[in-house]
Each structure stands twice: as structure tokens, then as C-alpha cells.
Amino acid sequence: MRIYHNPRCSKSRQTLALLQERGVEPEIIRYLETPPDKAELQQLLGKLGIGARQLLRRGEAEYKELDLQRSELSDAELIDAMSRHPKLIERPIVVAGERACIGRPPEKVLELL
């Protein structure tokens, strides 16, 4: 298992703790320090079964600054924005093989166990 983790985020910390309480020690990817590239984001979206817009954090300043609410933006353009500005990526994301889940709420990741 892997977790795309932001240690400053309470939901991310709760999700990691929930996994560890169940004996799972996932590979921790601090995605703000090591942002996923476009190909990795595309793979994550496929595993999550969602479109790029659903992975965006709309409350971040970059969302407004980059005018990402425009409906005409393609998934490729949104993925490009997330790869350049990883704060825009919803967190945490937990990956188990070919499946993935966003830990909101943290208990949601238990579906992967």
C-alpha cells in the first residue's frame, strides 16, 4: 500500500493512523515534496475511477489564481495544473494494487483492506 500524505493535514494523519492501527505500514509519499507527474496522476485517477476535476481541492488559493473553475478546461489541463501545483490534489490518497481511495472520511480507506 501507498499513501499520498500531507503530514500537516488532519485527515491525512488520521488515515495513516487508521492503517497503522490495523497493522498496515504503507509506503508514505509526501506528495508536496515529491509531486506526482502527469502520468502518475492519470494512473491515480484511473484507480480512483474519477475525473480530474473530482481530485481538485477547490478551496486552495491556486484554484482561484489559475481560474480552474472554468468548465471548458480538459482533464489534461487540470492534471497539468495539479502536477505543477500539488497543493491542488485532494488528500490523502491510498493505493492498494489496482485500487485507490481518497481518505475522506478516513474510514473510507478500510474498503481497500
What are the start-end ranges of the E strands in 8-81? 27-30
Question: How far is C-alpha 2 from the geometric centre of its chain's CA atoms?
Answer: 11
Cα-Cα-Cα-Cα torsion 73, 74, 77, 79, nearest 10 degrees, comes to 120
Question: Could you check whether the bond before residue 92 is cis, i.e. omega within 30 degrees of 0?
Answer: yes
> Which residues belong to the active site?
9
Q: How does DSSP classify residue 91?
A: S
